[in-house]
Amino acid sequence: MKTYEELNGLELDTIREIGSIGTGNAATALSSMLGCEVRISMPEVRIMGYNEAIDWIGGPEAITAGVLVHMSGELNGIMLSVQQLEFVNLVLERMMDRTVEHYADLTELDRSALVEVGNIMISTFINALSGLAEITTHLTVPAFAVDMQGAILAVPMAEFGGQSDYIMTIGADFLCSGRKVPCRLLLSPDIRSLNFLLKKLGVLDG
């Protein structure tokens, strides 16, 4: 059984390739929802400690929105779409013809739109991953929260912190109508699922 910190170069490269393909598919899905061509920069896929991941997003006390989905089946774990304010306003402007200055200004309709977008991005990413590895993955109904980033990241820490202190982070920039907004996704399969996934992809013996 390998933990995140024990992955070798080939295994990390495979995970990075999955991240690139999944994020590209998420950008295509976002393009359909927003009604504009969405291009994406080369995604940066890294394995980070939880505290490093929190700093990477913007720090533990920064307020952000998050859409969280649990995975089950042949791949167990969670995936989180972190929606920083630039991303939120891109979605609201394209879908609701409005923007907000603060997360506190979000209406229930705004939240529903953000959940829909986050869910589609996560579902598209996981479907691409499942197709590549030829596995079956089920997703729960998404949960939405606005909180300090340290509190939002506490969910995967509480669920999987006993198995590993690391999490997979996928970062890129979406480009839409001349605007560049950050995309931040965090994927945390449990250790059994991580090993099963690497075996299915042919980069882990056994």
Residue-wise pLDDT for 142-195, tens only, equals: 999 999 988 888 877 777 655 667 888 899 899 988 889 988 999 888 888 888
Averaged pLDDT score across all residues of the chain? 88
What's the topology of domain 4-200?
Chemotaxis protein chec (3.40.1550)
> Is 14 a residue whose pLDDT tops 90?
no
Each residue of 35-77: pLDDT tens digit? 888 898 888 888 888 889 889 888 889 899 999 999 999 989 8
pLDDT confidence tier of residue 197, bands split at 50, 70 and 90? confident
Q: Global pTM?
A: 0.89
Task: State the average pLDDT over residues 79-105.
Answer: 94
Each residue of 22-38: pLDDT tens digit? 888 888 999 988 988 88
Written as one string, the DSSP assignment of the chain is ---GGG--HHHHHHHHHHHHHHHHHHHHHHHHHHTS-EEEPPPEEEEEEHHHHHHHHT-TTSEEEEEEEEEEESS-EEEEEEE-HHHHHHHHHHHHS---SSGGG--HHHHHHHHHHHHHHHHHHHHHHHHHHT--EEEPPPEEEEEEHHHHTHHHHHHHTTT-SEEEEEEEEEEETTEEEEEEEEEEE-HHHHHHHHHHTT-S--
pLDDT at 185: 92
In this predicted structure, which of 98-107, 133-142, 169-178 has the lowest mean pLDDT? Answer: 169-178
Domain ranges of the chain: 4-200
